[in-house]
A = this chain, B = another copy of it.
């Protein structure tokens, strides 16, 4: 089965928003084993919507539209789609009641303009919208399946998961399942070389994906037999782990921070942080993880030299002689964070994120990190050249979390 996605919305063509709905739906279609061969974006214009439909019906079985189901005069997706098929829109009582109920539960009278959202083709299946007012539709007509969603991502995703995906599951015999292996510390090009033969496989497929200084490999298998797919994916995973397993930090939804919290929890260990140039970013990433309070006790963002001395107990002498960006300062920061947080480990970061603050001996991107444990005491130094301030801060947090992961 072939599908395509038509996003309806002038704001996308003006570059005001990005077409994230198409990405979500593409991923989901791939998981169902349905090929998605085209994305199109058109404006809120009846002629251009009809033109897009005209092209789509020539080449696709399933046509998914997003956007243009609102209550304003710009919203005319269903009108245009129905007109293309020469079918009228009718007032669907069930949809109208849903919309009325949505407003009643918020103690507002339903505006007249929302009535138009209950106008749908007579034979279309109504897809309820629990998070908004616009119902969607699942319309089988002229041997095509037309699925229309509102453009609001949250509403579309809920309607997809709760109602549309189950309908499509019935249509499609083959399923695609996949597993993602997440890497840190190996350049994308080198990873590609190490698994080049696997990237050329027809089934299962191994697809490399790089995003924001990390790489991942997605192993996918499409078949009617889920057990067979799982075995095949495991077989390929084992090969990959044998070759580059040391760089794999997690799978699927795991992040560096979630893996750190998981490891520390398993071993019943606690952690404190002393951050200077990262300004709270590492603390924030760790506390993004629900349940991190079992591990993370205290974070000190000692952004000024005074606070390093007053709060963390770094010696004024150290700051004067070695400077805040030094091995010695990093060690004192970590040692004091360990004591103040009464934790098993403490990590400190001090450095120059830029754009100002660099010098000849210590240019922008000079970073010292110290990791102190009950019996260990290690320093790392980094030089991040030619990177922007917030990229440097992000990269430091990645290195810090990867270090914590590998203790």
Which residues on A are within 8 Å of B, measured CB to CB? 7, 11-20, 22-30, 36-43, 48, 55, 207, 209, 211, 218, 273, 275, 277-284, 286-288, 290-293, 296-304, 306-307, 310-311, 340-342, 354-356, 389-390, 393
A241 CB to closest chain B CB, in angstroms?
22
Asked if B19 and A39 sit within 8 Å, CB to CB, the answer is yes
Instruction: Collect the chain B residues with CB atoms within 8 Å of residue A281's CB.
Output: 280, 284, 287
Instruction: Collect the chain B residues with CB atoms within 8 Å of residue A280's CB.
Output: 275, 279-284, 287, 299, 301
Instruction: Collect the chain B residues with CB atoms within 8 Å of residue A290's CB.
Output: 354-356, 389
Instruction: Collect the chain B residues with CB atoms within 8 Å of residue A36's CB.
Output: 13-15
Instruction: Please tell me which one of the listed residues B25, B301, B302 contacts residue A15 in the complex, with CB atoms under 8 A apart.
Output: B25
Instruction: Collect the chain B residues with CB atoms within 8 Å of residue A310's CB.
Output: 340, 342
* Given A283-B303, A297-B307, 13 extra CB contacts under 8 A: A13-B37, A15-B24, A15-B25, A15-B28, A18-B18, A19-B23, A37-B42, A38-B48, A279-B299, A288-B390, A290-B354, A292-B303, A311-B311
Asked if B42 and A14 sit within 8 Å, CB to CB, the answer is no
A52 CB to closest chain B CB, in angstroms?
8
Given contacts A15-B26, A16-B218, A26-B15, contact A307 B341 (CB under 8 A): yes
One complex includes copies of this chain to the number of: 2
A208 CB to closest chain B CB, in angstroms?
9
A238 CB to closest chain B CB, in angstroms?
23
A291 CB to closest chain B CB, in angstroms?
7
Instruction: Please tell me which one of the listed residues B14, B22, B26, B300 contacts residue A301 in the complex, with CB atoms under 8 A apart.
Output: B300
8 pairs, CB–CB < 8 Å, chain A vs chain B: A13-B39, A15-B27, A17-B211, A39-B39, A55-B55, A279-B288, A298-B300, A298-B303
Asked if B291 and A356 sit within 8 Å, CB to CB, the answer is yes
Instruction: Collect the chain B residues with CB atoms within 8 Å of residue A302's CB.
Output: 298
Q: With a 10 A CB-CB cut-off, give which of A24, A273, A311 has the most chain B CB atoms.
A: A311
Report the Cα distance A282→B301, complex, angstroms.
Answer: 11
Instruction: Collect the chain B residues with CB atoms within 8 Å of residue A12's CB.
Output: 23, 26, 39
3 smallest A-B Cβ distances: which pairs? A279-B287, A280-B283, A299-B301
Asked if A303 and B307 sit within 8 Å, CB to CB, the answer is no
Instruction: Collect the chain B residues with CB atoms within 8 Å of residue A293's CB.
Output: 303-304
Report the Cα distance A333→B393, complex, angstroms.
Answer: 27
Report the Cα distance A283→B356, complex, angstroms.
Answer: 19
Given contacts A22-B19, A40-B39, A310-B342, contact A301 B303 (CB under 8 A): no
Chain B, residue nearest A273 (CB):
B301
